[in-house]
């Protein structure tokens, strides 16, 4: 089950379509859906979490807590909609595209993809692009 929650005034459009897309991503990665909770929040909310749980005193667009067991994908994904909006401007892409990229990014981490090295980041970006294309085909 995929659920969406908000700690700010953000409302997610196309919840059912995005749920279907993310479920397809999980299946394509040969995994099974457990329970994934998306929580949309502002910079302050996510910064507090970043400091408390990861000891990073920096703004970020996403923090994910992975509870995956074997092939069953589970976790909590916290997304700062303020960071996503700023990044969309910086990368010259629509807000929705950047939001979808960040949403699938969290799922890909649960599927075992990393992004700390340049090599891993290239693979992660390639997977993100692949699945963003899948989303455009679903729409």
Q: Hunting for tokens 């059912």 — which residue is that?
A: 16
CA atoms of 68 and 51, how far apart (whole Å): 23
Helix ranges, 4-113 (H): 15-28, 43-54, 81-91, 95-110
Is residue 105 annotated as involved in ligand binding?
yes
Whole-number Å distance between alpha carbons of 24 and 87: 26
User: Per the annotation, does 115 bind a ligand?
Assistant: yes
Cα 5 from Cα 122, distance rounded (Å): 30
Residue 67 CA to residue 34 CA, distance in Å, equals: 9
- Block residue for tokens 């196309």: 14
**Which parts are annotated binding residues for Zn(2+)?**
105, 109, 115
**Which parts are annotated binding residues?**
105, 109, 115
């Amino acid at each position: 089950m995929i659920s969406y929650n908000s700690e700010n005034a953000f409302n997610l459009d196309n919840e059912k379509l995005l749920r279907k897309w993310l479920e397809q991503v999980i299946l394509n990665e040969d995994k099974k859906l457990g329970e994934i909770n998306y929580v949309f929040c502002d910079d302050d909310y996510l910064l507090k979490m970043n400091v408390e749980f990861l000891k990073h005193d920096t703004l970020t667009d996403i923090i994910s807590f992975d509870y995956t067991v074997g092939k069953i994908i589970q976790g909590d994904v916290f997304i700062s909609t303020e960071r996503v909006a700023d990044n969309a401007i910086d990368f010259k892409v629509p807000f929705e595209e950047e939001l979808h990229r960040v949403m699938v990014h969290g799922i890909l981490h649960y599927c075992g993809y990393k992004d700390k090295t340049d090599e891993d980041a290239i693979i992660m970006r390639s997977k993100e692009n692949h699945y963003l294309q899948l989303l455009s085909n679903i729409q």
